[in-house]
């Protein structure tokens, strides 16, 4: 089968458009934000605490991104409604029944929002919508 110049161009354009199109969830709400775990996801999987949810759905949030200091290296911090709880182990103490969402801030965003000792990032848990 032989394609003319116009058909080949149209086929190429169609292929590129399909490859570049954004992912849509089945419910039609658009792209999935990989920096957020929603209340719906928490309820769907029936997690008992925030650590289980993060470990299962976004385990990369728990990893440190290299050593920023050999004397006193920072770790990923956890905030619950703007209160610093400490390290990632504190996620085990947060029951998912009251959580509205969990958001991850990378080191740059966390440092800009909370200060220099947040270079490994922040896992922010909100009980408010």
Per-residue pLDDT of the chain (129 residues; tens, 9 = 90+): 455 556 666 555 555 554 444 444 445 556 789 999 999 999 999 999 999 999 999 999 998 876 656 666 679 999 999 999 999 999 999 999 999 999 999 999 999 999 988 999 999 999 998
Q: Are 56 and 100 in contact (CB under 8 A)?
A: no
Q: Is residue 10 part of a domain?
A: no
Q: Is residue 28 part of a domain?
A: no
Q: Is residue 19 part of a domain?
A: no
Q: Is residue 87 part of a domain?
A: yes
> What are the distances in angstroms from CA 87 to CA 11, 64, 74, 77, 129?
52, 11, 9, 5, 23
CATH of the domain at 114: 2.170.130.10
Q: Is residue 93 part of a domain?
A: yes
Calculate ∠ Cα 65-34-15, nearest 5°. Answer: 115
Number of structural domains in the chain: 1
Q: Are strands 122-126 and 77-80 parallel, antiparallel or unpaired?
A: parallel
Q: Is residue 55 part of a domain?
A: yes
Q: Is residue 50 part of a domain?
A: yes
pTM over 0.85: no
- Structural domain including 76 reads 33-126
């Amino acid at each position: 089968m032989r394609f003319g110049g116009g058909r080949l161009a149209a086929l190429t354009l169609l292929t590129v458009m399909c490859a570049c199109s954004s992912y849509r969830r089945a419910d039609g709400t658009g792209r999935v934000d990989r920096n957020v775990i929603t209340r719906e996801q928490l309820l769907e999987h029936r997690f008992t605490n925030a650590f289980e949810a993060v470990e299962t759905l976004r385990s990369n949030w728990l990893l440190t991104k290299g050593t920023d200091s050999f004397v006193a290296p920072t770790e990923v911090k956890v905030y619950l409604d703007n209160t610093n709880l400490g390290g990632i182990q504190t996620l085990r103490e947060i029951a998912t029944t009251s959580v509205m969402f969990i958001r991850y801030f990378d080191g740059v965003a966390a440092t800009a929002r909370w200060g220099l000792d947040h270079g490994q990032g922040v896992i922010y848990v909100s009980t408010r919508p």
